[in-house]
Amino acid sequence: MSLLTMRRAVIACFALAVLASSGLAQTEPPAKMKERFQAADKNHDGFLDREEYNQLVVEAFYFRDKNKDGYLTVDELTGVVSPEVFKAIDRKGDGKLTLDEWTNALFVDFDRADTNHDGQLSYEELETYVRTSGR
């Protein structure tokens, strides 16, 4: 697995976390992304801190886990991530993503998106990161 493929995998999942309940992250209109960001901002301060982001990541996992077996399969992410992206974040290589694998993949880019390094994400930081990362 190349570094570029791994990076794309993480970016794809990062976008999915923000778009936890959307059908397809790639086609989500900016207004919906903003709406979901605001819903995740539990204290309404205009930022996602690590705890709010963690809640969003966990909610995304359980939303996507259609059969409620505690794992995400490539079938549960069809149309959202490619099989290559899935394989890149499936660290155990067992065809199932655990909550740990999911959250670890999504937290990799939290710091990259946090361009001012204040430990929280503004909507603008997130939007810029997703846009400039080829999403």
pLDDT digits (tens, 9 = 90+) for 5-61: 555 555 555 655 555 444 334 445 567 778 888 888 999 999 999 999 888 888 888
Residue 78 DSSP class: T
Instruction: Give the Cα separation of 125 and 48 in Å (integer).
Output: 10
- pLDDT for the residue 10: 54
More confident residue, 2 or 24: 2
65-121: per-residue pLDDT in tens?
A: 999 999 999 999 887 777 888 888 899 999 999 999 988 888 877 888 899 999 999
Instruction: Give the Cα separation of 8 and 89 in Å (integer).
Output: 10
- pLDDT for the residue 118: 96
Q: Do 122 and 46 form a contact (C-beta atoms < 8 A)?
A: yes
| Arithmetic mean of pLDDT, 119-128 | 91
Instruction: Give the Cα separation of 19 and 81 in Å (integer).
Output: 13
Q: Do 75 and 50 form a contact (C-beta atoms < 8 A)?
A: no
Instruction: Give the Cα separation of 99 and 115 in Å (integer).
Output: 26
Model confidence at 125: pLDDT above 50: yes
- pLDDT for the residue 65: 93
- pLDDT for the residue 28: 53
**Which residues share a beta bridge with 120?**
49
* Cα distances (Å, whole numbers) of residue 34 to 28, 57, 124, 131: 10, 16, 10, 14
